Structure 1
């Protein structure tokens, strides 16, 4: 592989340069992810919660609300969130330089026009000093190039972790993107239970009750 091809596959993603876009995208992905959390049955280690890599970004995979099957895709090529239903309806919410509060209102309005009202908890998880989505005018940066580079790096890591996962014969999780901690992860399990640490919160108690080796980026 020549250097230009390597740069294309593994684009530079300096934290200082894309920090503001990261923080806004993190909140927007939490909003999308919370729909999946609200509408899917709980699975051990929160396996029902993550998003998954797609050919254009991230996806919830299919879910259902009141019998209506639908899916939400975060398109980091055309920079939009696409909601599609089994009835053939489509709604698009732009990913642009606007506040989280504005994105949240637009996204939830589009869900409601489809008859979907997931009743999510409207506050970010697993971040310090969380701002309710409807009040968050702090995070409003979005540079499409940085968001696209982030997805391209994730896509490469996704392939590597899937190859790593394939060699383990025991119980293992899919490669999955956790929108709360904003990382791509794969877990291998020993089959033995584990005791969550004293004072652990709900997330740690539910996610840490089995021995596991966690690979995350």
Structure 2
């Protein structure tokens, strides 16, 4: 399949909502396999997926004495299992119920002697039907999955540039399958008050995720009250004056419902220079967090001109 040359394609939520809900659950199956096998790394970094040259990957995971990984190929549209013993299994990504896909995935794993018991209830979604019982979610529109992948790829590139400007503790650019967002997070180095939890997120998960002060940003396709894709930026704990801070570009705004600054994806997509618009948003919202929370910026930021 040849990708469109439009590297910032449209992704209206209303046109791919059913596919989004199905794909969300498929990424959770892969993510739950990873979290079941990998040791805990601070802030649940052991659970995430990563951008690669064709889609998303778990990266290498250990099972007994072998390594294997799971990839989502969003160009040719396959769910791929590969092992260090040279075994490859491909399951087509196509309109099929989650229950059937889950059964197929687990069969292929067991057939190559990988047995991973999973908690099969999806998280951070309103319909929490277990994977093996879910015959409702069965959509897969290649066009919009490819559009999503192109946006994730471009966003990852810019987030990686933004990440490089920080020399303090900073997360990878990674994909959280719970919320279905691509994110990178900077840390002040100070601990944070115990998080109270969030809707659809277990309190113990939130406490680990937000154990230290953060400024976090990323891309989210939308959902719930947010009806189209957005870039977001927030800080925890939120300091006084953060939401009133002047940020760029002028189309960005503070959403009181979500407690985040937001920039509609359409603004970036239609900009003459999408890279600059997005970097302006990421930098200005980080400055808002670091300034109002009194971070030690001299110690945490890479000086201009130093590579």
TM-score (norm 2): 0.67
Q: In the TM superposition, what are the counterparts of 1:38-57 in structure 2 within 5 Å?
A: 38-57=36-55
Mapped partners of 2:177, 2:124: distance in 1: 9
Q: Could you list the runs of 5+ residues in structure 1 that have no partner in the other structure?
A: none
Q: Which among 35, 38, 59 is matched to residue 37 of structure 1?
A: 35
TM-aligned CA deviation for residue 57 of structure 1: 0.3
1:211 to 2:213 alignment:
yes
Q: Distance in 2 between matches of 1:199 and 1:88?
A: 42
1:183 pairs with 2:185: no
Q: Distance in 2 between matches of 1:102 and 1:152?
A: 27
Q: How many residues align?
A: 212
1:129 CA drift (Å): 3.0
User: Which has the larger Rg?
Assistant: 2
> Structure 1 runs of 4+ off > 2 angstroms?
196-200
Q: Deviations over 1:21-79 (max 9, x none)?
A: 10000001100111111110001110111100010000000011111111111101111
Counterpart secondary structure, 1:58 = strand
Matched, 1:197 2:195: yes
Question: How much does 1:168 deviate?
Answer: 0.7
In structure 2, runs of 5+ residues without a counterpart are: 220-307
Say what the alpha-carbon RMSD is for the aligned residues. 1.2
Q: Match of 2:122?
A: 124
- The higher-RCO structure (CA 8 Å, 6+ apart) is 1
Partner of 2:102: 104
Partner of residue 87 from structure 2, selected from 86, 89, 113: 89
SS at match of 2:76: coil
CA-CA distance at 1:196 after TM superposition:
2.2
Equivalent residue, structure 1, for 2:74: 76
Aligned-partner Cα distance in 1 for 2:119–2:137: 19
TM-score normalised by length of structure 1: 0.95
